[in-house]
Structure 1
């Protein structure tokens, strides 16, 4: 699925944990590893990084180290493009004295401009665990069929025990307000029909995909989908949220970047953005 996995590293306290997490993924997908460091290359830093690579037990023959100087976002994106990376791994930040994780301006720009998928880890561990509870955004966007397809492939390789697909009823308030002019039964039937439509949308995508080994739960929400995604991930203690990055210019999809920003501000768990 991922032939080349890139990791943006800095000499921070979490670097070894990020390398350990990425090593697990590289072994899982049988990938080559590309380590990207933005900063001046010195003999001291080179020796330090080499020691970390050895201690982490990385395969040197399958590990490429890239040093670049310049603006972080531009250089990280450039390195991913030059190396034809399939997945970029990066760490999220934790707000001071709070348990809320978020992406700073560099992280947000990398997600928007990255030529490949991006996996953001909020709490990387030296001894990593697999993603056992995964939520996939099933809201009707142009990218959704691909997001679900790639999400399921990821979960199959990972052997994820629980997969939840969360879908939103678009314009729910407006449609229910119109229905409210009728009888109580008509309102109830309208609500039921809207839910069934969204379940059918996801089910039709699933029908054309391999679901072997996966337990899939389709959930429909009537609230603002970005907020509901965060709430749902928190309610089931999800390990990973999978979303897409839409470049579409339709009215509905133009709303997506703003909702993505909301998710990035209040990250409920690790986040995989499918490109």
Structure 2
């Protein structure tokens, strides 16, 4: 799943540098084009519909002037990023629009045929461990493409990749994405599986068979990666998935965590499962949520 077009959300806060630098690392790895975008929400959205109903002409003029100032500031900042990136050989386009952030970004993904969205986790800062901001959370769940959430630290290299694996198609796609990155960066892949089937340990024979099969499959994955020149290893942890993966993230300190986005058979759409959601919220490392194209 090579990424060729990255849409990078720049919100003019202190995390913006880390988001742009992380996107730059991905773009450099895949030779991708960068679309830097800032979406400015109207100071009072209701005024974009019937302004005369709510405020006097003078007040409306003040609000419109504020909106223009925000657009000017955004354009200047994006052009500065674009200028620096262009000098380094990157292909960059800047986009400043006024509107609902989530809706506008989703429209841009479709319009520009984006295959990776890059956003910050929370406007309060890079190492903020609070829950995801409402905009970030909506984008992660509604994005029709893979999404990189920059948090904890910016991506300066892609040498250590941690993949959460649960044997479902979504996590298999996460492995394939990690493989593509590792081949290009000479990186290593650490596969983590949380064995939640241990609750069936009272059915000893069946549990043992499943456990051995899991080990066999994971070893086959590692052997296949090794045959392609990729350093890889796995670990099966007998504890809940959220705790297991977060502990390994803290110990391994990966440059990037890679998780799959599941497909609901009942809703016929992709969603971020509870486990992945908690990992994204609490990990102190950037997280890539992988979604297969055309799904």
Same fold per superposition (TM over 0.5): yes
* 1:109 and 2:110 matched: no
Per-residue deviation, 1:211: 4.9
Deviations along 1:171-206, one digit per CA (max 9) or x if unpaired, are 311x21233xxxxxx7xxx76544322122334455
Per-residue deviation, 1:18: 2.3
Per-residue deviation, 1:99: 5.9
Per-residue deviation, 1:60: 8.4
In the other structure, the counterpart of 1:225 is 241
Q: Out of 52, 72, 78, which is 2:101 matched to?
A: 72
8 Å contact 1:143–1:246 — kept in the other structure?
Answer: yes
Alpha-carbon spacing, 1:64–1:223, altered in 2? closer, same or farther (3 Å)? same
In the other structure, the counterpart of 2:37 is 36
Alpha-carbon spacing, 1:44–1:139, altered in 2? closer, same or farther (3 Å)? closer
| Equivalent residues in 2 for 1:142-153, closer than 5 Å | 142-153=169-180
In the other structure, the counterpart of 2:194 is 168
Give the aligned CA root-mean-square deviation in angstroms.
3.0
Per-residue deviation, 1:38: 0.4
8 Å contact 1:149–1:209 — kept in the other structure?
Answer: no
Structure 2 alignment gaps of length 5 or more: 41-66
CA distance in 1, matches of 2:271, 2:93: 38
CA distance in 2, matches of 1:61, 1:218: 35
Partner secondary structure for residue 11 of structure 1: coil
| Equivalent residues in 2 for 1:11-90, closer than 5 Å | 11-39=12-40, 42-57=71-86, 62-90=91-119
In the other structure, the counterpart of 1:182 is none
In the other structure, the counterpart of 2:120 is 91
8 Å contact 2:226–2:232 — kept in the other structure?
Answer: no
Count, aligned residues: 259
Partner secondary structure for residue 89 of structure 1: strand
Alpha-carbon spacing, 1:224–1:95, altered in 2? closer, same or farther (3 Å)? farther
CA distance in 1, matches of 2:14, 2:264: 38
Alpha-carbon spacing, 1:102–1:213, altered in 2? closer, same or farther (3 Å)? farther
CA distance in 2, matches of 1:240, 1:124: 10
In the other structure, the counterpart of 2:57 is none
CA distance in 2, matches of 1:137, 1:61: 31
